[in-house]
Every structure is written in C-alpha cells, then in structure tokens.
Amino acid sequence: MRRFFTLVDVLLVLLLFSEAPWAVWGSPHCDQSSSGVIRPHSVAITEFGAVGDGVTLNTKAFQNAIFYLNSFADKGGAQLFVPAGQWLTGSFDLISHLTLWLDKDAAILGSMNSNDWPVIDPLPSYGRGRELPGRRHRSLIYGCNLTDVIITGDNGTIDGQGSIWWDWFQKKTLNYTRPHLVEFINSTGVVISNVTFLNSPFWTIHPVYCSQVIVQNVTILAPLDSPNTDGIDPDSSNDVCIEDCYISTGDDLIAIKSGWDEYGISYARPSTNIIIRRLVGKTHSSAGIAIGSEMSGGVSEVHAESLQFFNSKTGIRIKTSPGRGGYVRNIYISDMNLVDVKIAIRFTGQYGEHPDEFYDPTALPVIENITVKDVMGENIKFAGLLEGIEGDNFVNICLSNITLNVTSESPWNCSYIHGYSDLVSPEACEPLGERIYPGHVLDCYHLPTHLWSMSKRKKGSWFLSW
C-alpha cells in the first residue's frame, strides 16, 4: 500500500514563487477572483451533526447543510464553514452562490467505501467512462449547472484517500471509472483557492464545460507512482486562470482537454482562453503541462509563463492521434526553467487510446501555431521528441531563445513537423532549421517583432554558460 501524503508533506513543499511580470498579454479573467466575497449567511458543518473524528461518516451532514443554505441563494448567497477536524464524507453536491470555507486545521476526507461515491452517466464529449465502458463514479465534491461557487479557506485540506482506488484500478476490480476529487460541470464563476488537495482517486480538479474558472494558490499532492492523478484538467472550458500553484502527482500536472474522438468532435466544445502562470512542480511519469490527448473539440489560445519543472519526465507535451480530429493552435509557452527533466518538449502524434471501434481513423487533428520561447534547462536528456503524423504535419512550430544542457548525443528527434527557430542550443532539428527572423515572424504565434533586434545583438555571442 502506498503511503498517503499528510500535512507534514505539505509543509515540505512550501516554495517561494518567482514574481516575473505577466505583461505579454492581458488577463482580465485572472483578476476577477471572488474568494474574498463575504456571504451574508454562514453556518458551520457541526450545526448539522457532523463529527470531525475521521471515523464518523458525515455525508448526510454535508448534504443537509447545503440543502439548508440553498434557501439563501437569492439573498446574497451563503457560506459553509468547516472547522478544525477530520471530516469523513462521501460525495456531496455544491450549490450556486456558495462558499465552502475550510479552516487551516480542517481536513475533508473521502470515504474509502465505493458505495459512498454514486455512479453517474458519462460525459457526452467522452461517450463512456475514461477508463471503462459505461458509467463513472461521481467526484467527492461535485457541482453541475452552478454560478458563483467558491472553495477556499485558510489552506485547509481535501484528501481523497485515493490509495484504495489506485489498488482497485491496478488489480482491475473496478466496475466503473474512478472519481475525480473535485468536478464542476457546465458552471460559471468557479473559484478554487488557498486549499491543499491530496491523494485524488483519479484527476484532482476537473472543470468541464465551464467558463470563468480561477484556480489560485493551491497545492496538489499525490504519490509520484499513483495512477492518473492529474493535477488540474480544464476540459472543454473557456476563460480559465491557473496561477501560483505547486503540483506533484503521478500524471500530468496540468492537462488541457476537450473531448474524446467522435464524441468530442460531435459535442464540439473547445477549451480556449487559458492562462497558466507561476506553476511549480514535478511528475516522474508525465508532463508539467500537457494538451490532450483528448482534444477532439479543439484547444486554442493557451498562454503559459513562469514555469518551473524539476525531477520530471517531460516539460511540455502535446498528445493526439489519428481519429481525434479537432485542433491545437495558438499555444504560447514562455519563461520555463527545467532541472533534471528527461524530455524538454514532446509532441506525440500517435498516442492511440480510443473510446470504441466507431472512431474515424481519417479524422486527423490540426496542430499549428505553437510558440515556445525563453527556456533554460539543466541536466536534460532530450531537447525535443517532436513526432507529428504522416500526411498531417504539425506546422508553424516556433522555438526561440532556448538553452538546454543536454546529455544525449542526439538531442532532437523530429518527424512530420515544420517550423522555425532562433537562438536555440543545442541547434534545433532540420525541420525547424529555418530562422524565424526576419522572414517568418508572422508565421509564429505571438512572437513580438521587436525581438528581431535582440536576436541580431545576440547572434555573435550565443553560447552555453553552465
């Protein structure tokens, strides 16, 4: 049995985040945090019979408290306060105009009995459970069709106690797909801040079909060998801001998604306008930021800056496959520092994994306008493994101002891609060999033309300085 992360582990990962300015583009939806909203009505979970001993099941107390607070939804909303204690519970729903506030010594614990996690229908953009055909378990904290909902506090803890789920998954004894820790569906105005999330059974925070989502100042931890414990997965959602987070899990720290093969193509809701900044973390098996592999509804306008990944497999990854359809375009990654990372940048065009035999293998994804700039890396094995799809090249891939201390004698492996590069060391692969400046600036997404003058100044003095 893997050990659980505890509050002691949380203290060990408190970091000083860099304060690099976010001036490349505007980010109005990052400035709309309402975690400090004062609700006119507030109750404590203890008023509904909850017992914080870590043993008593409090599902009914949470459900009854939220049912009561629903009467204040049209009166300025309400707050449910969770005081210090260990509050064991099964899955429960949130409501609109609600703040769930956790005291610094409060821990909401997920039940280790699967019967306390109801089974619900699959998402229409997936057509089935992500792991198994059919239905899926509902998340511990769940919301559907909500407006103005907040999970916050004084860095309290929400612990999924996922170890039992990981064992069931690996022993193949599950009947339904594992639950997320927090999931919001078709909701607007979601804020998650100042909370620590531990040991999710599956993906940790999953906003799907949502808009105006802010995730700020959260810590997400799961053992590095725990299966599929993604950190934050915006899915067919728009206007999402993720900032000032530390994530260490068994899968992608952030994975941007938009539906799976024919179901995602049919549902046709993209993920767009996503900002990620000041993210720190590690993952032994996956990527710091991934797009896909479920991207059939499209992913665009993703801007990420001030990233620090260490002791990880991959820095940035795009995952797709024939049959996905959809697109990934207008992606901008800047100011990334990598230490002890196996692969700095990876594109995978043959990821596979299909929901059923009805997908269309001729539905090819469009991957274009990807810019990665201002990257430093130490003890990197491969600079890039960039594999597109034969007959479906990934195009307008632009790399600028990248310096990697690479240990492999073959730092780049590129196929079925095309793009441009400047100030890249070790020198980029042949399909990216054409220079960006001056002839291809307009082919590169969000690359300012004023950098051409900087490129000329540095041309004669570009070298490794480790």
Please state, in angstroms and rounded to a whole number, the distance separating the CA atoms of residues 143 and 92.
Answer: 9
41 token code pair: 């009505």
Please state, in angstroms and rounded to a whole number, the distance separating the CA atoms of residues 112 and 100.
Answer: 22
- State the DSSP code for 199: -
453-461 long-range CB contacts below 8 Å, 24 or more apart? 455/422, 455/423, 458/423
Residue 115 CA, distance from chain mean position: 28
Which amino acid is it at 62? Answer: F
Cβ-contact 454, 436 below 8 angstroms: no
Please state, in angstroms and rounded to a whole number, the distance separating the CA atoms of residues 40 and 174.
Answer: 43
Q: Is 2 helix (H, G, I), strand (E, B) or coil?
A: coil
317: Cβ–Cβ under 8 A, 6 or more apart, which residues?
252, 286, 287, 289, 290, 291, 343, 345, 346, 347, 348
Cβ-contact 355, 128 below 8 angstroms: yes
Q: Which of 159, 230, 251, 335 is catalytic?
A: 251
Residue (of 247, 255, 114) closest to 173 by Cα position: 114
Residue (of 283, 255, 259, 260) closest to 269 by Cα position: 259
Q: Is-catalytic flag, 261?
A: no
Residue (of 385, 376, 236, 349) closest to 299 by Cα position: 236
Please state, in angstroms and rounded to a whole number, the distance separating the CA atoms of residues 109 and 464.
Answer: 49
Which amino acid is it at 135? Answer: R
Pairing of strands 98-102, 106-110: unpaired
Which amino acid is it at 279? Answer: L
- Catalytic residues, by residue number, are 251
